[in-house]
Structure 1
Amino acid sequence: MAAIEEFRAFLAASLVTPVERTRTESVSARRRRRVVVGVTVVLGAVGLGLALAVRPGDPLFYLASLGVALLWIAGAIVSGPLHLGAARTRSGDTSLGLLQGFLLGILLLAVFLVGALVVAQVPILRGPVEGLLDHARYGALWVVALVTAVNGIAEELFFRGALYAALPPRINALGSTALYAASTLFSGVLLLTFAAICLGLLTAAQRRVTGGVLGPIASHLTWSMGMLFLLPPVFALGG
């Protein structure tokens, strides 16, 4: 029972109860942020679709993926100020939220790896995932890992940083998640969109609690790097 209570307290601190903060942004600054974010979302979605359409093993895939990441980063920076955020610790103090982000990323990774065992049994779902995994199989793994890490940071800077701040407070969590998922639609892989929804909801909740992007970045990197290295063997086991 004590472990369950600890787990509940962790979830409440990391995903439910916001850390107090006071920030203001002028109407003109908010309008500018929204214009920049809107243009970046459209360009990034098209760029991601084009990158994933590149033949596995083609060096152009890495360049295209990094190009999309640079687009997200540029959009985030140009849109306005970004914040690292702060998390509440068990003692009542605050921290940067890196440990919370890591642990939440591990939890999401575990759920997805269990789900992969099921997906591997369904041919219509297995095929698209195999196509995504081919980019890791046929390329240099360290390069894929680097691209994955850069993209994870870039996506959080933009979607949980700039985009989240551009939306009205009452819809910024769901709205940023919906647009994050929509940006993957051009890839044609529905499971990638599903993953974006799950990851987006988790990191948006962190963004709401911490007020910044550092915790979401930690979760995103933990999940994405774990999927890169652990999904292929788990998928093979399921098949």
Structure 2
Amino acid sequence: MTASNTVPGRYLRALRTGDEDPTDPSALRRRRLVVVIVTLAAGVIISAWALRIPAGDPLFYPATAALALVWLIGAFASGPVHLGSEPYRPGRRPVVTSVGIAAALVALFCAGALVVAQIPALRDPVDDLLAHGTRGNLVAVAALTAVNGIAEECFHRGAVYSATQRVHPIIITTIVYAAVTATTGIPLLVLAAVILGAVTAVQRRCTGGVLGPCITHVAWSLVMLIALGPLLDAASAL
């Protein structure tokens, strides 16, 4: 088997040549752009509010559910949302590779947590965010985390990507996603958005759809929700 026929080789070739998502006609591109702008305006306002709600406040649950609903409505109102497939393997969904990418991201962020644990200015806002799982209903928070991950990918790597696919969509979707996340006021969450956004945008280009990004995002975020707090505590005790 040549290097170009390996899984990494197929992804690199897909990254160079572009995904299999057909280019939208002009009328649909204009519609996507309008829906994206309106959705972003609503999403930014709700995101800034929802993720600043103190841990333990029951308002957090409907607020984050509303945020997910906004992203999902915007995603599907903008036009078709494609699932995608493994590069050059039509019909085979990118499940295993997406889980592997999520595992690599988890390893990267766990390593970064060892540094963050020693810097209170960076750690404290993260602790406040993770407290929603420890002070509230962990099952409900995990479910909302998963739903929001899917909704964010459907919108950012679905609608926004398709609306900008002629003008550097990987860069634009990453910037937009980071800018929306910046409204939370949590610096490390913005950094995470840049890294996660770039990785999932590349996945979107290589696979032609949002399924791979959704799997990666949900798997990564659920592991971080459960493992990051204990890891930060253990690192602080060293």
Query: Could you tell me how far 1:169 is from its partner in structure 2?
Result: 2.6
Cα 1:41–1:101 shift into 2, 3 Å: same
Equivalent residues in 2 for 1:217-236, closer than 5 Å: 217-236=214-233
Q: Once the two structures are aligned, what percentage of the paired residues are identical?
A: 43
Number of residues of Structure 1 aligned to a counterpart in Structure 2: 232
- Aligned residue type for 2:27: S
* Counterpart-to-counterpart distance in 2, 1:24 and 1:203: 19
Displacement of 1:20 = 6.0
**Aligned pairs (5 A) from 1:36-55:** 36-55=35-54
Cα shift at 1:45: 1.4
Asked if structure 2 preserves the Cα contact closer than 8 Å seen for 1:160 and 1:203, the reply is yes
**Cα shift at 1:88:** 3.2
Q: AA paired with 2:86?
A: A
What's 1:95 paired with?
92
Alpha-carbon distance change, 181 to 15 in structure 1, aligned in 2, over 3 angstroms:
farther
Give how far 1:21 is off: 2.8
Shift of 1:34: 0.2
Aligned to 1:195: 192
Could you list the per-position Cα deviations for residues 121-174 of structure 1 after superposition, in whole angstroms to 9, with x for gaps in the alignment?
111111111111111111111001000000000000000001100004341011
Q: Deviations over 1:39-74 (max 9, x none)?
A: 111211111110011111111101100100000000
Change beyond 3 A, Cα 1:109–1:23: same
Structure 1 runs of 4+ aligned residues shifted over 6 Å read none
The residue number in structure 1 matching 2:115 is 118
Within a 5 Å distance, the mapping from 1:160-199 to structure 2 comes to 160-199=157-196
Query: How far, CA to CA, are the matches of 2:21 and 2:161 in structure 1?
Result: 16
Shift of the alpha carbon at 1:83?
0.4
Gaps in structure 1 of 5+ consecutive residues: none
**Distance (whole Å) between structure 1 residues aligned to residue 35 and residue 19 of structure 2:** 28
State the AA in 2 paired with 1:216. Answer: P
Match of 1:73 in 2: 72
Q: Is the 8 A contact 1:101 1:215 kept in 2?
A: yes
Residue 17 of structure 1: CA displacement?
2.2
Give 1:94 shift: 5.6
Contact kept? 2:24, 2:162, Cα under 8 Å: no
TM-score by length of 1: 0.91
- Report deviation, 1:9: 4.4
Listed as ranges, the matches of 1:103-114 within 5 Å are 103-114=100-111
**RMSD over equivalenced CA pairs, Å:** 2.0
Gap runs ≥5 in structure 2 = none
| 1:114 alignment partner AA | A
- Give the Cα–Cα distance (whole angstroms) in 2 for the partners of residues 219 and 32 of structure 1: 28
Which of 216, 219, 234 is 2:213 aligned to? 216
CA shift, 1:217, in A, is 0.6
Report Cα offsets for 1:176-206 as digits up to 9, x if no partner. Answer: 0100010011111111111000000000000
Question: Distance in 2 between the 1:216 and 1:67 partners?
Answer: 21
